[in-house]
Chain A
Amino acid sequence: MNWRSEAIQVWAFVVRNLLMASRNLFFFFELLFWPIVGVVSIGFMTRFLHLTPETTSFVMIGTIALSVSQVAQLEVSYAVLLDVWSKSVKHQFMAPIGMRHMTIGSWLVGMLRGTIIFMVLAALGWWAFGFNALAAGPGAVAIFLFGCFLNAWVVGVAVCALITLYGTRAEAFAWASVNLVLVLAGIYYPVSILPAPAAAAARTIPLTYFLDAYRAHYGFASEFATPVTTGLALSAVYVVLAHAAFLLTIQRARRTGLLLKLSE
């Protein structure tokens, strides 16, 4: 493996996604508008319900995690979506690159955008609702963000796989997949209140563990013995599985001719 060449091919997607993001008003809405609307509306709801500062922090951590994960996940999905929208899929898939270049390059931009949105939402949460998202310290924040980004990588690659399996019909998954996480991963409530089958499903989502670990810094008892390690291990498994699924769907798309259809 030629590492320089690998880095250049990953960098190609970093530059591409950054340029596209910088020239699209729609991307601006994704980056700032919806996440801010989310934090503001949830913040006011906590006031209306007269939640304690502790419970408010519980909900705000979930809201911020959801926004950060979604922004980063959408960016990973753009690894394929941008080419589907521009009907240039074939150029990418006849170049000597692997899917790792596409997904890692897009993920790096996703992490950048996710970090920006985290900083914005943290500032907004502190200013508007007195919630300090950085109170856990830099190490905990870094692990929390990395967990969100890993979750985003897995979901984003899974969306890429769905698009190369079903074509443009699967586009909606890019935005809808976050709702599954919303219900199961304990964004607004602890996983322990879920019915047993849903709680079992929640335990298969890495974000559940990273949220649990981060909330422990705000005084909430951890529901899991080693949440960070478990979250990282689960993420590693899912990253491999998602990439395997993506590889299989690309191979299938070459068989079915979908790569051609997506370029017409």
Chain B
Amino acid sequence: MPSPASDALAIDARDVAKTFRSGWLRRRETPALRGVSLQVRREAIVGLLGPNGAGKTTFLSILATLVTPDAGTARVLGHDVVHDAARVRRRINMASGRPSFLWSLRVAEIIAFYGRLYGLAGKPLTRRVDALIEQFELTTHRRAQYNELSTGLKQRLALAKSLVNDPELLFLDEPTLGLDPDVSVRVRQHIRDLRRERGMTIVLTTHYMREAEELCDDIAFIKAGRILAHGTADDLKRQIGLGDVIAFRLDRAPEWLGRAPGVLRCVSADGWVECTVDEAEKRLPELLRAFYGEGVEVRGVQVREPELEEVFVELAK
């Protein structure tokens, strides 16, 4: 029996494990997930980050009822993904950055086919197909066959298809993979709109850190089948302890700078000295005072947080 607290969760996964086995004579075992726990509140956008083969797609597929877990439990919108899969399927959908549909069906026909699978027919189906085609700017391509579409159009079609049942929870597997920057921007805007206008919960995997930082309320970092870190982008940066970066443009770099209190490391590049410090707010005045005392002229200062990419690199090591 789910608790009231778990009712507020769109996803409640606990200790989910999955090992893929292959080969008849020589059995091979590939552990994909080794006890993943993740709670996602409703109407959140959550990103799953991690290197290739980390288990992101497997985890998403378990939540989408395509793969059954070996151990652990996963509840989606209050329903168990194994024992109550049919109820889960009615309320979720998925789009992939590598979409594939029947090659000779037309755009409108593909959306209509999947609409029928969710029980839509007649005028409601026609209205839904028309609305999605318009929303994803596919009007001029509605009679184009799938194999005639560009990558960007295929991805927009995949997004349109994924909304055909008006899902409460949407899984997006690398939704902007291989898209031109302008198309990626539009797709990200669509994703934001889905949450704002429909209150949809969205779980996405991506390799683009900027995308994750821009879109996601929470980010879970998966590596080798385990969640290594989970929280907001700022939380992750703090958890990893990468510190802040203070970049100075100086007339000369004093040799003690790398050993100064709170300074973790210093790197020189393009006339700037980039010092990674434990806490910029505390260390910047101290360093400025020290420069002044030594007669070092400070010509420029920039303070920035570490990029999420640096967190990714650190965690992926």
Contacts and interface: CB of A to CB of B under 8 A. Distances in A.
Interface of A: 2, 4-5, 8-9, 11-12, 15-16, 19-20, 23-24, 82-83, 85-88, 90-97, 101, 251, 254-257, 259-260, 263-264
B118 interface: yes
B90 interface: yes
Interface SS of A by simple majority: helix
B105 interface: yes
A90 B117 contact: no
A96 B91 CA distance: 9
Contacts of B96: 263
A90 B89 CA distance: 12
A11 B101 CA distance: 18
A260 B102 contact: no
22 contacts: A2-B119, A4-B119, A8-B116, A8-B119, A15-B113, A15-B116, A16-B109, A19-B105, A85-B103, A87-B100, A91-B94, A91-B101, A91-B161, A94-B89, A96-B90, A96-B118, A97-B117, A254-B67, A255-B68, A257-B32, A257-B58, A260-B67
A86 B103 CA distance: 6
Contacts of A251: 68
B201 to A, nearest CB: 16
Given A15-B113, A16-B113, A19-B105, A94 B66 contact: yes
A95 B113 CA distance: 11
A205 to B, nearest CB: 29
Interface SS of B by simple majority: mixed
The contact size tier of chain B is 35 or more
Interface string B72-107: 000000000000001001101110101011111100
A5 B119 contact: yes
A91 B96 CA distance: 10
Contacts of B65: 94, 254
A9 B114 CA distance: 9
Contact of B100 (A2, A88, A259): A88
Contact of B66 (A11, A93, A96): A93
Given A9-B117, A12-B117, A83-B102, 18 more contacts: A8-B120, A8-B121, A15-B113, A15-B116, A19-B104, A20-B104, A86-B100, A90-B66, A91-B94, A92-B117, A94-B64, A95-B117, A95-B118, A96-B90, A255-B68, A257-B61, A260-B66, A260-B67
B66 A254 contact: yes
Contacts of B61: 90, 257, 260
Contacts of B22: 256
A88 B102 contact: yes
Nearest to A86: B102
